[in-house]
Structure formats: structure tokens, C-alpha cells
Chains A and B, each alone.
Chain A
Amino acid sequence: MLLAAENPLEHLSDKPWPGLQWHWQGLTVTAMSSLIAAMILVAIIAATLILPFARRYQRVPRGGRNVVEVLVVGVRDLIAKPALHEQAYVFLPLLCTMFVFVLGMNLLGMIPLGRITPLLGLPPIGGTPTGILAVTGAMAFITFMTIVVLGLHHAARLCHEHHRVPMALCAAISPLLWLKSLAPTIPGLTGKILLLPMIALEFVGVLAKCGALMIRLFANMLAGHTLLAVLLMLLGQALVSLMQHQSYSLAYVGPGIIIFSVALNLLELLVAVIQAYIFTFLSAMFIGLYAAPSH
């Protein structure tokens, strides 16, 4: 299917559903597209697979319940506890959902649904949602918002508890308090002079960390898919060369490309899981770094 595509990266691009994309003064807004449908599909599959096993309590877990528990225990012990310590259980639902959602989006990109659904008369569904910056940026934005909201909440609570100031006032000035708490404490005049630059630097640090989250996931998924696409394009060229020009020189690379593509696909499976883990783990680390009371 990829061989037939004009653009080898076409399977990564989003296909808006008819009439559900608007352009306004150079700004594009898509209400529904193949990637949004893929994300909805991921959410539905995740909920369908996980929810039935959550209801049944078994003293000794079996079958699918075992898988779900392994997932939860893995996120708790490998991600939440090392990064968030005693607050691990507070953020466990967020981290579990994040891991499942990112993993689902990564894995869905391995299935060529976008080519199958039009054949069935359905609108385009599928693709790799994590292969576009808007999606990974939105996921990183969720981490950023978690950091900010928890940081503000913590700053407001500390202000209310330590200075006996009304909670509403504390909530109002909490952005300033949180920004101030980001900067390290330096005594004397130097501290006062460096306060504003340090605050700016630390805030840029938060943004940079979340930006790195966005770029890392996007780049990894894009790179794998691009490499696969290029390899398959080479295979297409070899076939064209064989059929049109009766040239066997490129035909010899065909089996090698197929074997390499299969291996790369398996590697992509591994990358999908690793990137979901890394994204969730780094999110947990940043949340713990900026929103935990010990900071």
C-alpha cells in the first residue's frame, strides 16, 4: 500500500474528513480527521480493554486482569514511585492514562488502517497521531499544565498556611509566589539582583523540558516511520525498474529491503513501548521536580 503512495510519508499526514476542516486567515482548524479519529479509536479500545477487567476483583489475578495489573504496577513501580515518591498514588491515574494513550497512539501507527477504511466505504481513520507535532505538543502541554497548576496550588497552600493570608488572596498571587519559588535562594544583594533573571531562566527551563518532551516523542515516531517509508520506496523503485526496464540490478536489493523492513518494524514496536515509557517517566519526573512540596 505504501508502494502505491506518491508521497512516502503520506501515511503520516492527517486526512481531514470532508467538510470538517476550516481555514481562516491562514489558520487551519480541523474538527475531525483520520488522526483525531485514530485517537478516539485508541481511547475506545483502551477503555474497552481495561474497564471490564477493573470491575472483577480476584485474589489471584488471571488472564487480561493480569495484564492490566502488570501495567498499573509497572507504571507505579517504574515511573510513579521513583519520580514522585510519597505522591505516587496521587498521580498514578494520570500517568497510567498517559502511558496507555501514548502507547496506543504509537502502536496504532503500525497498523495501516488509513488504507483499509476507505475500501470499506468509511471515512479515513488511522495513522500515527504521535507523528505530528500538534498531538505530542498537546500531550506535553498536559504535563506543563499539571506542573503549573500543582505548583500554583502548592504555592497558594504554603502562603495560606505560613502567613495566615486568606486563601483567595493566596490563590490570586500564587503565580508570583510559584515563579519566585522556582528561583534558587541566593542571600544578599546578589540574590536580589539575580532574582528576576533566575526566575525567567527557571521558567524557560520548565518550558524547555516540556518542549523536549514534545520533540522527543514526535522525532522518534517520525524517524522510524520515515526510515520505513524510505526503505519501502526503495523497494517500489526496484519493482518499477524490474517491470519497466527489465533491469535486474535493483531487483537484488528487494529481499534485503523486505528483511530489513520487517526487522525495523519489530524495532518500531519496541520504540513505541519505550517512547511511551520515556514520555510518561519524564512527565512524572518534571511533575515531581516542580510540583512536589519538597522542591
Chain B
Amino acid sequence: MPAALEMRKAVPCLVAALAAIAVAPCAAWAAEGAGGGIPVGDLGQAVATIVIFLLLLAVLGKWAWKPIVAQLQRREEGIAQTIQHAQEREKQALELLAQYKKQLEAAEAQAAELLSQARRRAAGEQEKLLGQARQESRRLVQSATVEIEQAKIDALRELYDRTAQLAVDVAAKALRQTLRPEDHRRLVEESLREIAQEASPKND
């Protein structure tokens, strides 16, 4: 910083020295060309040009160009930042999209797996229930057959008893005086045995 300050102090001296060197030929040139055909001008116009330009530079430099350039830079930086943010967000969005796609694919695969498992399980359950139902129906059929068989036997037995009793009663009425009780019983039993023999081949 001190070096820069020293340099700043030295700059006006250098400018003054160089201006003096440059003004001398300029003055001679102005004096020579004042009466010529080409519009040369004079020293006063040259000095006035420099002064007016420097004043305009000072005014516009401080109150126009500096704020405008600063605002332009601020706006350009803002636009660049916005573009950068937009690009970053686009990148993030693309990454998120890829991630979501992966998750969606994984979820779809998982759902398919779960569905497949559920179907397999449902099929297993169906098979199991069908087996049980078949066993149950078979058991019910068997027990019904046994019950029917038993009912048949009971009915037949009751029929034998009733028939025997009826036959005895009928025979007793017809042969009440010729048959003794022992003969009567023997005849009835023989008759029953014959009936049973006749019935058994039909049942088999």
C-alpha cells in the first residue's frame, strides 16, 4: 500500500512533465497552422478539449459508469448464479428422477414378488382346503354308509322279528291244536333261517 500511495503521488508529476514536453511542439504546430487551409485549430482548443474531456470523465466516471458497471456486474452475477442454480437443480432433479425410477422398479419387482408369493400361498391353501374337504366328505360318506348299513341291519332284524311273530301267530291260529310249542318254535326258526339265506346273497 505505501508503494501504491507513493506511486499515486508520483503520477501527477509525471503527467505534468509529459504534458509540458507534448505541449511545446503542439504550440509550434498550432502557430504554424493557424493561417493555413486545413482547419488546424490552436492551443486553446486543444487544452479546452482535454479539460472538458477530463471533467466529463470525472463526472460520468463517478456518477454514471461506476454505478452502471457495478449494477451490470451484479445483474450478470445474479443471472450466472441463477443459471448455475437452475443447472444444479436440474442435475438434482435428474438424479432424483433416476433414484425414483430405481425405487419404482424395485417396488414393482417387490410387488410382483409379493403377488407371486401370495398366489403361491393361496394355491397352497386352496390345495390344503380341498384335501381337507375331500377327506371330510370321504369320512362323511363312510360314516353315512356305516349308519345306513346299521339301519338296514336294524330294519331287517326288526322285520325278521315281526315276520316271525306274524308267522307264529298265523301258524298258531292254523295249527293251534296239532303243533306243540317246541315244534312250533323249530319251524319258525327254520323259516327264518331260509329267509335270511335268501336275503344275504342280494345284499352282497
A-B contact count (CB 8 A): 176
Given known A-B contacts A43-B52, A47-B56, A89 and B39 have beta carbons under 8 A apart: no
Binary contact readout B1-31 vs A (1 if CB under 8 angstroms, 0 otherwise): 0110011001100110011001000110011
Q: Which residues between 92 and 135 of chain A lie within 8 Å of chain B, taking CB atoms?
A: 92-94, 96-98, 100-101, 129, 131-135
Q: Check if A97 sits within 8 Å of B49, measured CB to CB.
A: no
- Of B3, B18, B45, B56, the residue contacting A138 (CB under 8 A) is B45
Q: Check if A69 sits within 8 Å of B68, measured CB to CB.
A: yes
Nearest neighbor of A36 in chain B, beta-carbon distance: B48
Q: Does A157 contact B (CB under 8 A)?
A: yes
Q: Does A13 contact B (CB under 8 A)?
A: yes
Interface size on A (CB < 8 Å)?
Answer: 66
Given known A-B contacts A33-B45, A92-B69, A145 and B18 have beta carbons under 8 A apart: yes
Q: Check if A97 sits within 8 Å of B10, measured CB to CB.
A: no
A55–B68 Cα distance when bound, in Å, is 8
Q: Does B53 contact A (CB under 8 A)?
A: yes
Q: Does A73 contact B (CB under 8 A)?
A: yes
A137–B47 Cα distance when bound, in Å, is 10
Instruction: Collect the chain A residues with CB atoms within 8 Å of residue B53's CB.
Output: 43, 97-98, 101, 138-139, 142
Binary contact readout A10-41 vs B (1 if CB under 8 angstroms, 0 otherwise): 00111000000100001111110101100110
A97–B57 Cα distance when bound, in Å, is 6
Instruction: Collect the chain B residues with CB atoms within 8 Å of residue A227's CB.
Output: none
Given known A-B contacts A134-B45, A149-B18, A50 and B64 have beta carbons under 8 A apart: yes
Q: Nearest Cβ in chain A — how far from B110, in angstroms?
A: 50
Instruction: Collect the chain A residues with CB atoms within 8 Å of residue B63's CB.
Output: 51, 54-55
A133–B45 Cα distance when bound, in Å, is 10
Nearest neighbor of B9 in chain A, beta-carbon distance: A171
A171–B49 Cα distance when bound, in Å, is 29
A214–B167 Cα distance when bound, in Å, is 163
Q: Check if A133 sits within 8 Å of B11, measured CB to CB.
A: no
Instruction: Collect the chain B residues with CB atoms within 8 Å of residue A92's CB.
Output: 65, 69
- Of B33, B55, B57, the residue contacting A93 (CB under 8 A) is B57
Q: Check if A139 sits within 8 Å of B69, measured CB to CB.
A: no
**30 cross-chain CB contacts under 8 A:** A13-B39, A21-B44, A26-B31, A27-B43, A46-B60, A47-B56, A54-B63, A54-B68, A69-B72, A73-B72, A93-B69, A100-B56, A100-B60, A101-B56, A132-B41, A132-B45, A134-B42, A135-B49, A137-B26, A137-B41, A137-B46, A145-B15, A145-B22, A149-B15, A152-B14, A157-B7, A167-B6, A168-B10, A171-B6, A174-B14
- Other than the known A46-B60, A148-B14, what 4 A-B pairs have Cβ atoms closer than 8 Å? A9-B39, A39-B52, A43-B55, A135-B45
